[in-house]
Structure 1
Amino acid sequence: MPVPLSRDLPEEAAPLFQPTNVQESPTWRFLSSVNTRYGLSLASYYDLWNWSTSAIDLFWNAVWDETGIIGYKGDHVVDSSAKPSQNVPWFSNAQLNWAENMLQNRSFTKVALIQTTEPTPSNPDPELKTCTFGELYNLVADLASALLLNGFKTGDRVASYSSNCIENVAACLATSALGGIWVSAAADFGPDGVLERFEQVQPSFIFAVDAVVYNAKIHDHLSKLSLLLDGLSSVVPVQPKTIVISTGHQAPDPARWCDDWIDWSEFVKSGKDSKLGRTKTGEIEWRRVSFNDPLWILFSSGTTGAGRPKPIVHRAGGMLLQSRKEFAICGDLRPDDVFFYYTTTGWMMWNFLVSGLATGCTLVLYDGSPLRDPAFLWHLVDKLGITIFGTSAKYIDQLSKKYKPREHHSLASLRHIYSTGSPLAPQLFDWVYEYIHPNVLLGSITGGTDICSLFAGMCSALPVYRGEIQCRMLGMAIEAFNSNGTANPPDEPGDLVCTKPFPCMPAGFWPLPGFGTEEAVKAAQLRYQQAYFGEFDGVWYHGDHILITRSMKGNGGGVVMLGRSDGVLNPGGVRFGSAELYDVIDMCFPTEIQDCVAIGQSIENGTDERVVMFVKLPEGQMLSEELQQRIKGEIRKRRTPRHVPGKIIQVEDIPYTLNGKRVEVLVKKIVNGAPKSSVNPATLANPQCLDIYVEAGNQLRSEVQ
């Protein structure tokens, strides 16, 4: 992928945004606090970042205190001499509860959640649903009671196959309140894909909605839920209790309900009546767990190896401490903010959004298409007074081609716009400031499912430069490594690594010790080490190709994302592994397709990519239009519309390495313009087949120029 930003910049390029009153920002207040506390003389963000990544024990200890974490901290932080690959424990004596920290506010007047959906012909003006902090606390208490009434035990997995609604947030909070482990899959995911995830973690409960809205249409969800449960019945020993949320999008149909499903309202009422899990004063009996105990499980997009998506277990304390640092110290999220992020419940940005509750601000939950009516979300900005607007780079790119919000809306409330999912092109920085808001902090951010947080991102004390993520986040010792395993100087591309331990490192892959057989636990530990520590000795390898710029105005260097280091597919900013496509092909076309390889082709001047699948058919067979449509149909049905290849091309052979590994990255590079001479043929079992990919690449690139 070409570098999306020229580095021929003057020593001090003009920023697109310059914060005012920097010394009143939370970052600067934190800098002043640690100077006083530790007798330091830090004078810039770069100074603070350097200290935060060298004295990691002192830094994270200060973050706990600065952000007011509720819980017992203890006197241990971390072994600061350890390598990331050792995955050492953090705050070994600490006891805390994530949900308790989210629900500090108990006001019955302050709104915690606002839920809205995309308009449909039958409901052109959807009613807003609101939930105050006091109401949310009571709902969580009743849900926790109902879970206990139905046999919940600490460490149980509670799963969601739901839309972005108030009930889903409450179920997550109730699970955490009791020391459970939250697992979520987006409602737009096919039941086969969800089965691949849930069968690995064997949830005791599943929360699901009866319908969802997308593209102004109501889509039934009960049929997908039934298929998922049918699949689970043959692979898990105990069937999960299923709670169904009636969304009001469609009329109830009792005939389609299974006898053992539980209606959400009845479930909540049973908890309210039984009042389990409460103290004598009525307070939730928060199950405070170890800092390193699991909070939730997210699933890899395929970067961590072939086969099923890998269940990544995130530790409770790491998620809490990292999000508090990001929001309270770096991002300046405030109690009076109204925070919106366009996300499904299966993307880590949902977890990111919900973690904003600890600030006491209002979250906006949206279910539907973001672009069918491009004005709708910006109408919400003005209607609800949204101050923080989060989205994807792909959304901004598509919006720029059809709508200019500033010409139709006031947008006076906006303070920050966040963008993630794929690199935000430099020209889109210009577009945001011209056509959305001229004086907003545009925070391009990057991290991922693997850490469920940020490596680089926003800081309200720093300027915004064209095409750059503002800074490396405090406490995250990221560098751009070259192939020799050393850090590159500024402005030289390399692989994103993290050289010091950080508390939001996953606890591991599922199953953790105590949750599986000894053999399964050891296999998960091996996969974890191979996933993140197999490239460079001892340091976290993230799989992104980046460039860290030279420091300007004390920022320590911005970060430019240059794409993935591996072959992960990323159409529209939705990342997934090619294995999710191969599994469908293997299952549905075992005799018609002998082999295949799927890659991402760069389009839209590098701002997006389309999935291209090359297929090898039995000798004498030709790829028909009918077969192509069946392939696309099965992938759409079993995965999501995002997974569907934009092009399917027949080839004579699929390239493999000498040790039998399918070669994706090499094919991707050739299709995107890399010369054949850049390939070492000695590493391939069949290098002669590359010529067809060179020809295909020439044709594919001509189609998108």
Structure 2
Amino acid sequence: MSEAGREVLWAPSAERISASRLAQYQRWLAAEKQVETTDFDSLWRWSVHDLDGFWSSIWEYFDVIASAPPTTVLTDRTMPGAQWFPNARLNWAENLLRDCERDGTAIISVNENGISGELSRQDLVAQVANLAAHFRRVGVRPGDRIAAVLPNIAPAIVSVLAAASVGAVWSCCAPDFGLKGLTDRFTQIEPTILIGVDGYQFNGKRIDRIDLLAGLREQLPSVRHTILVRNLDDTVAVPDGVTDYADLVVGDAQPNYEQVPFDHPLWILYSSGTTGLPKGIVHSHGGILLEALKANALHYDLGPTDRVFIAASTAWVVWNMLVDAMATGATLITYDGSPTYARPDHQFRICAEHRVTRFGTGAAYLTLCERVGTRPGDEFDLSALRSMMSTGSPLPDSTWRWVYDAVTGDVHLGSDSGGTDVATGFIGANPFAPVRTGELQGPYLGVDVQSWNEAGQPVTGEVGEMVIAAPMPSMPIYFWNDDDGHRYQEAYFDVYPGVWRHGDWITIEADGACVVHGRSDSTINRGGVRMGSADIYQAVETLPEIAESLVIGAELPDGGYHMPLFVVLRPEYTLDEALLDKIRTTIRTQVSPRHVPDEVIDVPAVPVTRTGKRLEIPVKKLIQGIAPQVAISRATVADPDALDWYIGYAERFHRADVGHAADGSA
């Protein structure tokens, strides 16, 4: 048992620890840098106390390819605004593709019908080189934006690598987004290139997206060139004015990697957009590269013989982390389809068929498999599986145990917590520590994670706000169209100036293990894909029947997730089945199928503050079981009577013992 009294489910053998890449790095530090550490805790403490020494060691140990090597590591530790490796020039794609001259498979593409293709390492390099050459021919220059609407398929990986090769800035959304959700994101960044897909298959249904691409072209006047990936049917006609992707990845172009500054923008991911449009979060070539090397090699223990399958939509930052695994030389497995196609444990079937060594998925999926009684280890040969990553939400204790009972007794299960904001983890797995029920093993190297109470003081063994007290290389370099940095400052540093507040409740135990209790803000985070309430409000409140609305995404103690939508109707309407269907269809088509609410409820009013802000966080706390007197100060409410309805709803909700989450897929 740990100090928190949690059950040990698995522990690495001494041989496995010694052979791990983290142990190899630790021995190298001692021999080459005279940094003596005895265990993970001492290594982590050195990594956060000597940021310059740690991050320069990552650069040197992994032999980062750079046309201009660094002369300085960190010129300014101030957050926001920390400056990393200011004189270095490199390219993220060049470093990811460095190992592709050797024989072997780079990408295995899987869909609901089985293998749809394989790409060798040499072919991957060639396709990236040819597509990058095309980008240059049509005038793409460093800093230009390339927007894509693609599922998790090999062309998406080829395209992001090609974009990075020319120094362009990548931005991708999943094809199940509605037109408005896409235009809300892409109009902000004014892309010059648009890459779309003819469609995708989900749960046996073929979904055409040609019309979506046409609509998006009309909404994006900045686009000069459009490319179509034929994913469903390679005989479908390519629309006028659109180029066939298949024609662009063949040829004799040679690799050519634009050398850019360390902090040159690599890609734009999107915040949840709890107020206004989603924020464009911009990450850098160098920051993402160093985090990818550290996380994949040292924390996940990956190398060239590994096969990595992460079941992720391209709308989820975990897809970007899948691509980053290529930095270790690992083979990637992409999957385009329903996570539960034909059977709930379909993802485990993929793991068995392709001898996956590392499997990443959402906690909600594992919980679903447990609840319906699957036993993948009895059904499939999972002997190749060495590690698993559960992410997106906290994993219930029973599901931790289910993995070791029903999947395999010998696997390193890590529950990681990070996010879109840094495209890596803050806390999670390491190959030295035992796995305990409900715990994340500890902080990531180089991440000064702490739990703070309301007074801004570090606490141990009690729930507090998760903060990051020192800069990380993959913190955003800026938000798009945030010239004065105001929105960036507001997003992370308004509560504790100079210290990153992430918005999670966390307990850090005395031995370094961590327990995450869910979001402390109002972000809708279903299955790891974040969506702001503003996106849903913008869609729902355009309906003539709806006067006001309030949407909540609440993580529940049993690992479930409950997402109700409360609506105030205009006087002449009632919430009948026709209107319910209209609301759900509007959200499904204009926002995302994943974010269709669990229930839609007619309410008398939406509670707001005296300044008119919807009381999302207090209502979320009520649903999570927090007492009303703790969840909200009635003095801050414009109409306290409006809050009473929600207090009653929360009481009824808990009495009914509901809250087992739908996975949001549709």
TM-score category, normalised to shorter length: over 0.9
C-alpha separation between the residues in 2 aligned to 1:314 and 1:251?
34
**What letter is aligned with 2:84?**
W
Could you say which residue in structure 2 is the equivalent of 1:627? 579
- Whether the 8 Å CA contact 1:157–1:182 is kept in 2: the answer is yes
Aligned-residue offset at 1:663: 0.8
Output the TM-score relative to the length of structure 2.
0.94
The CA deviation string for residues 199-244 of structure 1, in whole angstroms up to 9 with x for no partner, is 0111111112212011011111112212222222xxx4x3341110
- Whether the 8 Å CA contact 2:541–2:549 is kept in 1: the answer is no
Could you say which residue in structure 2 is the equivalent of 1:501? 471
SS at match of 1:521: coil
C-alpha separation between the residues in 2 aligned to 1:127 and 1:472?
37
C-alpha separation between the residues in 2 aligned to 1:675 and 1:458?
33
C-alpha separation between the residues in 1 aligned to 2:310 and 2:353?
16
Task: Note if 1:138 corresponds to 2:126.
Answer: yes
Q: Which runs of 5+ in 1 are unaligned?
A: 1-5, 120-125, 276-281, 512-519, 552-556
- Whether the 8 Å CA contact 2:564–2:598 is kept in 1: the answer is yes
Aligned-residue offset at 1:37: 3.8
Could you say which residue in structure 1 is the equivalent of 2:439? 468
Query: What is the correspondence of 1:140-159 to structure 2 with a 5 Å cutoff?
Result: 140-159=128-147
- Whether the 8 Å CA contact 1:467–1:560 is kept in 2: the answer is yes
**What letter is aligned with 1:101?**
N
Query: Which of 410, 418, 425 matches 1:454?
Result: 425
- Whether the 8 Å CA contact 1:307–1:579 is kept in 2: the answer is yes
SS at match of 1:594: strand
The CA deviation string for residues 238-261 of structure 1, in whole angstroms up to 9 with x for no partner, is 3341110112x336343xx43111
- Whether the 8 Å CA contact 1:19–1:463 is kept in 2: the answer is no
**What letter is aligned with 2:36?**
S
Could you say which residue in structure 1 is the equivalent of 2:529? 574
C-alpha separation between the residues in 2 aligned to 1:601 and 1:476?
27
Aligned-residue offset at 1:623: 2.7
- Whether the 8 Å CA contact 1:16–1:466 is kept in 2: the answer is no
C-alpha separation between the residues in 2 aligned to 1:323 and 1:333?
11
Could you say which residue in structure 2 is the equivalent of 1:321? 290
Could you say which residue in structure 1 is the equivalent of 2:662? none
Task: Note if 1:245 corresponds to 2:224.
Answer: no
Paired residues in the alignment total 653
Query: What is the correspondence of 1:358-507 to structure 2 with a 5 Å cutoff?
Result: 358-372=327-341, 373-402=343-372, 403-489=374-460, 491-507=461-477
The CA deviation string for residues 529-550 of structure 1, in whole angstroms up to 9 with x for no partner, is 1001011121011001111122
Could you say which residue in structure 2 is the equivalent of 1:222? 210
SS at match of 2:185: helix
CA shift in 2, pair 1:581/1:505, >3 Å? same
Task: Note if 1:187 corresponds to 2:175.
Answer: yes
Could you say which residue in structure 2 is the equivalent of 1:279? none
C-alpha separation between the residues in 1 aligned to 2:389 and 2:404?
13
Task: Note if 1:541 corresponds to 2:514.
Answer: no
Could you say which residue in structure 1 is the equivalent of 2:24? 29
Task: Note if 1:169 corresponds to 2:154.
Answer: no
Aligned-residue offset at 1:349: 0.9
- Whether the 8 Å CA contact 1:192–1:228 is kept in 2: the answer is no
Task: Note if 1:79 corresponds to 2:75.
Answer: yes
Aligned-residue offset at 1:378: 2.4
Could you say which residue in structure 2 is the equivalent of 1:258? 239
Could you say which residue in structure 2 is the equivalent of 1:96? 90
> Which shifted more, 316-325 or 624-633?
624-633
- Whether the 8 Å CA contact 2:272–2:278 is kept in 1: the answer is yes
Same amino acid, percent of matched pairs: 34
C-alpha separation between the residues in 2 aligned to 1:93 and 1:487?
35
Aligned-residue offset at 1:108: 6.2
SS at match of 2:127: helix
Query: Which of 340, 352, 356 matches 2:325?
Result: 356
- Whether the 8 Å CA contact 1:15–1:464 is kept in 2: the answer is yes
Aligned-residue offset at 1:574: 3.1
Could you say which residue in structure 2 is the equivalent of 1:565? 520
The CA deviation string for residues 398-454 of structure 1, in whole angstroms up to 9 with x for no partner, is 111231101111211000011100111111110000110101000111100000111
C-alpha separation between the residues in 1 aligned to 2:397 and 2:325?
28
C-alpha separation between the residues in 2 aligned to 1:8 and 1:327?
28
Could you say which residue in structure 1 is the equivalent of 2:642? 689
Could you say which residue in structure 1 is the equivalent of 2:614? 662
C-alpha separation between the residues in 1 aligned to 2:626 and 2:102?
60
Could you say which residue in structure 1 is the equivalent of 2:185? 197
Aligned-residue offset at 1:559: 1.3
CA shift in 2, pair 1:602/1:347, >3 Å? closer
C-alpha separation between the residues in 1 aligned to 2:3 and 2:59?
40
C-alpha separation between the residues in 2 aligned to 1:165 and 1:688?
51
- Whether the 8 Å CA contact 2:3–2:510 is kept in 1: the answer is no
- Whether the 8 Å CA contact 1:77–1:91 is kept in 2: the answer is yes
The CA deviation string for residues 655-691 of structure 1, in whole angstroms up to 9 with x for no partner, is 1112221110111122333333233111111112111
Could you say which residue in structure 1 is the equivalent of 2:663? none
**What letter is aligned with 1:104?**
R
CA shift in 2, pair 1:35/1:106, >3 Å? closer
Could you say which residue in structure 2 is the equivalent of 1:60? 55
C-alpha separation between the residues in 1 aligned to 2:572 and 2:625?
30
C-alpha separation between the residues in 1 aligned to 2:283 and 2:655?
44
- Whether the 8 Å CA contact 2:21–2:301 is kept in 1: the answer is yes
**What letter is aligned with 1:657?**
T
CA shift in 2, pair 1:543/1:385, >3 Å? same
C-alpha separation between the residues in 2 aligned to 1:141 and 1:558?
44
C-alpha separation between the residues in 1 aligned to 2:183 and 2:39?
49
Q: Which runs of 5+ in 2 are unaligned?
A: 659-666
Aligned-residue offset at 1:13: 5.4
CA shift in 2, pair 1:48/1:127, >3 Å? closer
C-alpha separation between the residues in 2 aligned to 1:646 and 1:174?
40
**What letter is aligned with 1:538?**
G
- Whether the 8 Å CA contact 1:83–1:499 is kept in 2: the answer is no
- Whether the 8 Å CA contact 2:3–2:509 is kept in 1: the answer is no
SS at match of 1:208: strand
- Cα RMSD (Å) of the superposition? 1.9
C-alpha separation between the residues in 1 aligned to 2:623 and 2:390?
27
**What letter is aligned with 1:577?**
G
Aligned-residue offset at 1:69: 1.0
- Whether the 8 Å CA contact 2:128–2:249 is kept in 1: the answer is no
Query: Which of 477, 483, 489 matches 1:521?
Result: 483
C-alpha separation between the residues in 1 aligned to 2:249 and 2:300?
35
Output the TM-score relative to the length of structure 1.
0.89
Task: Note if 1:550 corresponds to 2:510.
Answer: yes
> Which shifted more, 340-349 or 15-24?
15-24
Superposed structure 1 runs of 4+ greater than 4 Å apart:
none
The CA deviation string for residues 365-389 of structure 1, in whole angstroms up to 9 with x for no partner, is 1100111323433232222211001
C-alpha separation between the residues in 1 aligned to 2:34 and 2:193?
51
- Whether the 8 Å CA contact 1:110–1:132 is kept in 2: the answer is yes
C-alpha separation between the residues in 1 aligned to 2:123 and 2:554?
48
C-alpha separation between the residues in 2 aligned to 1:189 and 1:19?
45
Task: Note if 1:595 corresponds to 2:548.
Answer: yes
Task: Note if 1:583 corresponds to 2:538.
Answer: yes
Aligned-residue offset at 1:694: 1.5
